[in-house]
C-alpha cells in the first residue's frame, strides 16, 4: 500500500517525527519499549483500514526500513542518512531509496518523491504571488501535471514504464498525506486558509551541502553553476533528474527559455536571499549568461548572473 495512502499507518509522517524526537532525546534499548512508553499526542489521526494499533505498525515499519537502527545497545537514527534535522534525514532516506526507473510505478518512497516533484511544478501559489492553495486546489494541480492516467501508458518512455496499469495522480485517500509530506519535508507551508509552495526550509537544510559541493567558494559563482548544483543535490528542483523526467513525460507547462527558472525555484532563491543565506547579483537584461527568475515584484523577469553564499 502506498506511503501516500491516508489509511496506511506508515504514511503517518507526524508520528514518525514525534518518535524521532523521542529517540534523539532519550535512550531506548529496543523499539517495543520506545512504543509502549510514549503516548502520541492528538495529531488528528485518520481512520485506518489496516487493523488496530496503527501507531505500532507505523513505527515498526520505519524501524524495519532501517530509518532507525540499534547501535551501541540503543535505538538511534541511522547515520547513513546524515545527522541533521528530521526533515533532511528523511529526504536523504527517500532519495536514497527512490529508483529513477520506478519514478512512475513505485508506491513507497518513490511515490513521495514523485508528489514532491509535482508540488514544485505548481504555479501561482508561492510567496511571489502570496495566494494560498486550498486542499482541493492542490489535489487539482497534482492531477493536472500533464501526466497520463496510468503508469504503463506509452506516453512514458519504456525504461520508466510500469509493467501493469497503475493509476497516477493523487486520489481522495492520498491528498491529506501528500500535504503532510510536503509540509514536514519543507516544500509547502501553511498560509492563511491553505498552503503555499515554499521549498525554502528544504533548501536551508541543504545550503551547506550545496556550498561545499561547489568547492566552498569565497567569491560569487555563476548562477548556472549554482542552479545546476542545487538540482543535482535536490533533484525535485527544476533541472534535477526527477523534475526533468516529469517535464519530459508531461508535455506541458514548458518554460519560456532554457535560462528561465520556474516559479518555485525562483521563489526559493529570492526567499533565501531575504533570509541572508545567499546574495543574488542582478545583471543587464541583455546579458547572454543571465538566468531569469520567474518575476520580480512588478511581474517582470529578474535577471541574475552570480550567486554568493553568505554565513556558511
Return the pLDDT at 147: 87
211 shares its domain with 189:
no
Is residue 82 one of the residues assigned to a domain? no
Share of the chain above pLDDT 70, in %: 89
The conformation of residue 114, written as its DSSP 8-state character, comes to: H
Is residue 2 one of the residues assigned to a domain? no
For residues 208-243, one letter each, b for 16 or more C-beta atoms within 10 angstroms of the residue's C-beta and e for the rest, the string is ebbbeebeeeeebbebbebbebbbeebbbbbbbebb
Return the pLDDT at 115: 95
Return the pLDDT at 52: 53
Is residue 151 one of the residues assigned to a domain? yes
193 shares its domain with 231:
no
167 shares its domain with 181:
yes
Which residues have a Cβ under 8 Å from the Cβ of 13 and sit 6 or more positions away? 90, 177, 180, 181, 184, 185
Is residue 154 one of the residues assigned to a domain? yes
Distance CA 169, CA 146 (A): 10
Q: Which of 115, 140, 127 is nearest to 263 (CA)?
A: 127
295, exposed or middle or buried, with CB in 10 Å at 0-12, 13-18, 19+? Answer: middle
Is residue 56 one of the residues assigned to a domain? yes
How many structural domains comprise the chain? 3
163 shares its domain with 112:
yes
Instruction: Say what the alpha-carbon torsion angle 276, 282, 287, 291 is, to the nearest 10 degrees.
Output: 40
112 shares its domain with 32:
no
Domain coverage including residue 51: 9-77
Last residue of a domain, one of 151, 175, 198: 198
Taking the CA atoms of 301, 302, 304 and 310 in sequence, report the sign of the dihedral they define.
negative
Return the pLDDT at 47: 47
* CA distance to 62, 108, 220, per residue, from 211 (Å): 31, 31, 11
182 shares its domain with 219:
no
190 shares its domain with 249:
no
Distance CA 108, CA 4 (A): 8
236 shares its domain with 158:
no
Return the pLDDT at 97: 95
Distance CA 11, CA 180 (A): 9
Query: Concatenated DSSP letters for 261-303?
Result: --HHHHHHHHHHHHTTSEEEEE--TT-TT-EEES--TTS--EE
137 shares its domain with 67:
no
Instruction: Convert the pLDDT of each residue in 172-228 to its tens digit.
Output: 888 989 999 999 999 999 999 999 999 999 999 999 999 999 999 999 999 999 999
187 shares its domain with 106:
yes
207 shares its domain with 285:
yes
Instruction: Convert the pLDDT of each residue in 2-24 to its tens digit.
Output: 788 766 777 888 889 989 999 99
106 shares its domain with 177:
yes
Which residues have a Cβ under 8 Å from the Cβ of 77 and sit 6 or more positions away? 20, 23, 24, 67, 68, 69, 83, 89
What's the count of helices (H) and strands (E) in the chain, helices before strands? 11, 8
Is residue 123 one of the residues assigned to a domain? yes
Distance CA 155, CA 141 (A): 20
Cell numbers 510505478 correspond to 105
The list of the chain residues with pLDDT below 50 reads: 44, 46-51, 253, 256
Return the pLDDT at 49: 40
Is residue 36 one of the residues assigned to a domain? yes
Last residue of a domain, one of 198, 227, 259: 198
Return the pLDDT at 232: 97
Amino acid at each position: 500500500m502506498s506511503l501516500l495512502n491516508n489509511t496506511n499507518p506508515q504514511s503517518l509522517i507526524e508520528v514518525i517525527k514525534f518518535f524521532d524526537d523521542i529517540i534523539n532525546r532519550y535512550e531506548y534499548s529496543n523499539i517495543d519499549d520506545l512504543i509502549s512508553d510514549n503516548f502520541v499526542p492528538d495529531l488528528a489521526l485518520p481512520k485506518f483500514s489496516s487493523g488496530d494499533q496503527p501507531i505500532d505498525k507505523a513505527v515498526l515499519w520505519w524501524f524495519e526500513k532501517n530509518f532507525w537502527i540499534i547501535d551501541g545497545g540503543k535505538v538511534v537514527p541511522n547515520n547513513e542518512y546524515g545527522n541533521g534535522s528530521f526533515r533532511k534525514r528523511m529526504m536523504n532516506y527517500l532519495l536514497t531509496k527512490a529508483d529513477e526507473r520506478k519514478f512512475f510505478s513505485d508506491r513507497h518512497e518513490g511515490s513521495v518523491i514523485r508528489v514532491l516533484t509535482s508540488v514544485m511544478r505548481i504555479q501561482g501559489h508561492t510567496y511571489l504571488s502570496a495566494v494560498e492553495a486550498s486542499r482541493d486546489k492542490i489535489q487539482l494541480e497534482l492531477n493536472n501535471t500533464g501526466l497520463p492516467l496510468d503508469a504503463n501508458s506509452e506516453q512514458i518512455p519504456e525504461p520508466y514504464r510500469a509493467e501493469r496499469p497503475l493509476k497516477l495522480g493523487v486520489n481522495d485517500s492520498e491528498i491529506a498525506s501528500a500535504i503532510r509530506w510536503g509540509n514536514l519535508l519543507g516544500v509547502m507551508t501553511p498560509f492563511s486558509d491553505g498552503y503555499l509552495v515554499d521549498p525554502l526550509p528544504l533548501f536551508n537544510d541543504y545550503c551547506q551541502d550545496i556550498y561545499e559541493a561547489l568547492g566552498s567558494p569565497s567569491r560569487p559563482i555563476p548562477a548556472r553553476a549554482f542552479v545546476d548544483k542545487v538540482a543535482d543535490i535536490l533533484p525535485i528542483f527544476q533541472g534535477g533528474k526527477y523534475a526533468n523526467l516529469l517535464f519530459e513525460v508531461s508535455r506541458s507547462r514548458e518554460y519560456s527559455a532554457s535560462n528561465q527558472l520556474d516559479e518555485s525555484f525562483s521563489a526559493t532563491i529570492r526567499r533565501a536571499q531575504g533570509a541572508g543565506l545567499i546574495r543574488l547579483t542582478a545583471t543587464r537584461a541583455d546579458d547572454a549568461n543571465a538566468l531569469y527568475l520567474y518575476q520580480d515584484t512588478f511581474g517582470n523577469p529578474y535577471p541574475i548572473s552570480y550567486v554568493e553564499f553568505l554565513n556558511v
